[in-house]
Amino acid sequence: VQLVETGGGLIQPGGSLRLSCAASGFTVSSDYMSWVRQAPGKGLEWVSIIYSDGSTSYADSMKGRFTISRDISRNTLYLQMSSLRAEDTAVYYCARGDDGRGIDYWGQGTLVTVSS
Amino acid sequence: SYELTQPLSVSVALGQTARITCGGNNIGSKNVHWYQQKPGQAPVLVIYRDSNRPSGIPERFSGSNSGNTATLTISRAQAGDEADYYCQVWDSSTVLFGGGTKLTVL
């Protein structure tokens, strides 16, 4: 199992960015996939989850600004982020897991910096 | 909304036992998972569903969960155990993390 995030970078406040997470060794559509972020020097903060049935859930501060999705043909998870703010600056991790086994696989993370 | 409370820091002497707590209202009714994170690295699952160890995690790591407190116990602490530790639960289709505990091995 491997998760590889891409798409991070420097973006101006108010801008948009799409993160990708390429999965291998398993099928993203058959599993629970989450995005978790970590601001510099801070703790882990859950962002969003997409369940195997395709339903989604978001942390309150991301609702309406972030959209999680997946591409079955590419076996890839996405996070579309819009109306970005300075406080969205963080390392964003793609992760797999559920309540039965915990979050058992994590990507290496991709850094998003929101700054003018 | 549900909250998880962890101590900011815990210290333990080399070779002794460290206990990191995670408090939450009736947390004993939930599955608690624990993660270890070293600087510059992604988190690693060390305990899942209260007390289960993933393959590759030493037996020195154990967990318990009852009432309003879940506990991660690290026996015979080693210098390599120095890290941040996070508890995590699922609550109403959302994922919650505790604030994290920095473990220092003296």
Residues A27-64: pLDDT tens digits?
999 999 999 999 999 999 999 999 999 999 999 999 99
Mean pLDDT of the B12-28 span: 97
Residue of A46, A66, A41 whose CA lies nearest to A106:
A46
Q: Does A99 touch chain B if contact means CB atoms closer than 8 Å?
A: yes
Q: Are A20 and A94 in contact (CB under 8 A)?
A: no
If phi over 0 gives left and psi between -120 and 50 gives alpha, with beta otherwise, what is residue B29?
Answer: alpha
Chain-chain contact of A103 with B43 (C-beta, under 8 angstroms): yes
User: What is the overall mean pLDDT for chain A?
Assistant: 96
* Range 27-66 of B in CB contact (< 8 A) with A: 31, 33, 35, 37, 42-45, 47-49, 54
Q: Which two tokens stand for residue A5?
A: 């995030």
Chain-chain contact of A97 with B94 (C-beta, under 8 angstroms): no
pLDDT digits (tens, 9 = 90+) for B30-79: 999 999 999 999 999 999 999 999 999 999 999 999 999 999 999 999 99
At residue B1 the predicted structure's pLDDT band, cuts being 50, 70 and 90, is confident
Residue A75: what pLDDT?
A: 97
Closest partner residue to B31 (CB to CB) among A44, A49, A99 is: A99
